[in-house]
Amino acid sequence: MDTFAPVDDCWFLTGPTASGKTALSLELAERLGAEILSLDSMAVYRRMEIGTAKPDTATRARVAHHLIDLVEPTEDFSISQYLEHAHRAVDDIRSRGREALFVGGTPLYLKALLRGLADGPPGDPELRAQLESEAEQQGSAELHARLAEVDPEAARRVHPHDTRRIVRALEVFAKMGQPMSDYQQHFAQGRAAKDCRVFVLNWPRDVLHQRINARVETMFVEGLVEEVRGLLADYGRLGTTAAQAVGYREVIQYLDGARAPHSRRSATADLSPPVDLPQTIELTKARTRQFARRQLIWFRGLSECRWIGMSDQTNVAELAARIAAE
């Protein structure tokens, strides 16, 4: 069983997608004398650049970044692997007298860093492949219902379309004969916000939706379809986790439909596959807004978080100075 202690005395800048974390993180890192560690479960994949809004070369030259481009997009990447890399990177940064600033919007990673994690037994590739096959054939909702029977608490926390986490919880129960939620009780024990340095960027809902829509449109203008087409040409198919990334998932469905309309059912096809590019873009916007809503629900459940009100009048440099003074 993999067990990880909480990381101590780090800075965290988080928030939903399109909330302006990147620009603020650079100002904050420079004020703190910090290096940035990605808190994004999709930025670990190489060659997935546009849809993950990965920091570009100029940004990485300005401030050192870690936990990006760790594995190929055909590989699965567990939270245990992330935590192992994160702890190692924090130790390296501190050995050079620098501060560690985590930046990103993956709530599960944030929670595990703040509270530690006991991640259960090692993966069972054969069992996992069987469960993933069942999810593809029957739909993830069917597996979610099965999870609710053996681990109601885990089922309550996991979205019915989050195939990867559903499969992992079922895998743990099959291997251990014990619900994953039973030995992750420590995961519910949080600290007071005043004792932590976790800052959540919080926009008015309508403004956030406008920012998300603009972000998605920019992604497609910058070549998201071409990026995904190139990934599929080189790799054949993406791994289970990478293929579920918002934006990539919709473009894959679009390209699959263009090659062979309605030829197969996708495990992630909770909505009808898009039939043309404009519909793909609108579907990506809708799912990104849904994703942002789930992120905010997670953040509200973390007592460690301090909420930072954002508006179009927010001065990034002034805000960075205010946070650094905390």
> What's the rounded Cα separation, in Å, for the pair 204 and 311?
8
Domain boundaries, the chain: 3-205+290-324, 206-289
Beta-strand pair 99-103/11-14 = parallel
Query: How far from 285 is each of 16, 103, 218, CA to CA, in Å?
Result: 14, 23, 11
| Third-level CATH fold of 206-289 | Helix Hairpins (1.10.287)
**Residue 35 near residue 66 (C-beta atoms within 8 A):** yes
For 137-155, the pLDDT digits (tens) are 999 999 999 999 999 988 9
> What's the rounded Cα separation, in Å, for the pair 321 and 326?
9
How many CB atoms are located within 10 Å of the residue 149 CB?
A: 9
Residue 261, pLDDT score: 44
| Third-level CATH fold of 3-205+290-324 | Rossmann fold (3.40.50)
Q: Give residue 298's pLDDT band: very low, low, confident or very high (50, 70, 90).
A: very high
For 20-34, the pLDDT digits (tens) are 999 999 999 999 999
Q: At residue 264, does pLDDT exceed 80?
A: no
For 185-196, the pLDDT digits (tens) are 656 678 999 999
Q: Give residue 176's pLDDT band: very low, low, confident or very high (50, 70, 90).
A: confident
Q: Where are the alpha helices (DSSP H) in 98-183?
A: 107-115, 125-138, 140-150, 152-157, 163-176
The model's pTM: 0.81
Q: At residue 177, does pLDDT exceed 90?
A: no
Q: Average pLDDT in the 121-135 region?
A: 86
